[in-house]
Structure 1
Amino acid sequence: MAESHDYLVDYLKEKGYPEVRKTRHEYLSYYGLDQSSVCILVSGVVKASVTLREGNEFNIVYIQGPSPVSLLRDEVSCQAKSPFSVRVESSEAVCMMVPRVTFWRYVNEDPKLLTYVKDYYRNSLEDSLHRMRYLTMNGKIGAVGGLLFDLNSRYGVACEDGSMISLDVTNEDIAQFCGISSRNSVNRILRGFREKGVISTQGHDAHIVIHDPKYLERYVMD
């Protein structure tokens, strides 16, 4: 899939689309607002979320470039409502913005791009079902444990005592991913993991360090 990501980015570069740079916590799109372009994330990490009716935010997924941010909605509308808000979580993100109709014309004209889009949808569905299992079937502790294992698998960087999740993941972020209404509940769950020696925090940004990924893996096993 990585090779296909590179093909998409190189294809759009050849078409003359410029790279747009965004800094941490800038938004690429807002949930429910009309969007005229398909956003292709070239590098960096963004977070997709939705705002519920009562005003609470629910996190959906982190997305790491290179990757489309969203290919949802139809192929013929010049504008479509954004299915979620997208905020930059890395220090910087680089993206390309392609008019929607033009993007889908490229896809339908190029067999390799068409195969890429089909694979993107299939992989996105598989990832969504995987996350749904550990976020909804294990209770609060299992949801947090599964999320930490998933984040470590995707964004863990080797360190002296294990691996450190390179993203600045706050307790509020964890609560919003796991559907937990209170950050105090997240605090208690994380404290339990710390007391068992499964995790710790490191640095002034309190990055989460995973010492025992096998312990967390139980929450994502089929």
Structure 2
Amino acid sequence: MENHVLQDYLNNHAFPIVTKKRKSYLTYEGLQDRYAYVLKDGIIKTSVISRDGREFNLRYIKGLEIVSLVKDEYSQFIDAPFNIRIESETAELYQLDRVQFWKDINQNRELQTYVKDYYRIMLLHSMKKMQQMLMNGKFGAVCTQIYELYDTFGVPVKNGILIDFVVTNEEIAHFCGITSASSVNRMIQQLKDAGAIEIHQRKFLIKDLELIKENIIF
């Protein structure tokens, strides 16, 4: 998926830019909003709240990406599908009138293709992650999430692959549907004992990626 199509579209319009600070929310699940948002810079996290009030994390997102364009093309106000929380010190997002954005998409073949590809990729990603979470058990789910963190934030360093972003065990629990962070603590310790990971300055350092992948059904 070629982000230059989206970037060219944004560059050709004077969209307002919203700046939010760390731990603040851009939208809440179910809150009516007339805008679509595109992440310009920073890191955000999407999540939903279960019926019993527990938070379930969906994804970390960084770099240029549409983060809230959903539902029909004509309703001016829609219910936000998930919570969007800022995870970097600050994040900047383009704010687009969603109805006008849909009109522009329908009149621009390249942008239309981009949006279709975006939704196709997001759907495949969601299906694959759900499969991995359901079929691998809790330990496999934690390994799946660490692998996804590697895919999003991994930076090769001299002695391994550094996940260059601080993620707490509690957040990992919320990604995996595990109610207790202490359960994640035990599984992280198991991975450390096996030599798969280390913790450096609160960040994961992957020492053996293949060992982590052995616990994931791809």
For the superposition of Structure 1 and Structure 2, which TM-score range results when normalised by the shorter chain?
Answer: over 0.9
TM superposition shift of 1:215: 0.7
What is the Cα deviation at residue 10 of structure 1?
A: 2.7
Q: Is 1:163 aligned with 2:157?
A: no
Among 31, 34, 38, the alignment partner of 2:32 is 34
TM-superposed CA distance for 1:218, in Å, is: 2.1
Q: Distance in 2 between matches of 1:89 and 1:158?
A: 22
Q: Are 1:140 and 1:178, in contact at CA under 8 Å, matched by a contact in 2?
A: yes
- Cα contact 1:89–1:168 (8 A) shared by 2: no
Partner of residue 220, structure 1: 216
CA distance in 2, matches of 1:129, 1:219: 18
1:179 equivalent among 166, 177, 181: 177
Deviation at 1:130, TM superposition (A): 1.4
Q: How many residues align?
A: 218
Q: Does the aligned pair in 1 maintain the 2:139–2:187 contact within 8 Å?
A: yes
Q: Which residue of 121, 132, 135 maps to 1:134?
A: 132
Q: Report percent identity of matched pairs.
A: 40
Q: Secondary structure at the match of 1:20?
A: strand
When normalised by structure 1's length, the TM-score is: 0.94
Q: Is the 8 A contact 1:200 1:208 kept in 2?
A: yes
Give the letter for the 1:217 counterpart. Answer: K
Give 1:146 shift.
Answer: 1.2
- Residue in structure 1 matching 2:86, options 85, 88, 96: 88
Asked whether the 8 Å contact 1:163–1:210 carries over to 2, the reply is: yes
Paired AA for residue 119 in structure 1:
D
TM-score by length of 2: 0.95
How far off its partner does 1:65 sit?
2.0
SS at structure 1 position matched to 2:74: coil
Residue from 58, 75, 78 that aligns with 1:77? 75
Gaps of 5+ in 2: none
Distance, in Å, in 2 between the alignment partners of 1:83 and 1:154 is 22
**Per-residue displacement from partner, 1:97-131 (whole Å, max 9, x unpaired)?**
10110110110111111001110111001111111
> Residues 29 and 84 of structure 1 are in contact (CA less than 8 Å); yes or no, is this contact kept in structure 2?
yes
What residue number does 2:207 align with?
A: 211
Q: Is the 8 A contact 1:90 1:167 kept in 2?
A: no
The 1-side partners of 2:18 and 2:69 are apart by 19
| RMSD, aligned CA | 1.3
Aligned counterparts of 1:157 and 1:26: Cα–Cα separation in 2: 27
Structure 2 residue matching 1:128: 3-state secondary structure? helix
Show the counterpart of 1:57: 55
SS in 2 for 1:197: coil
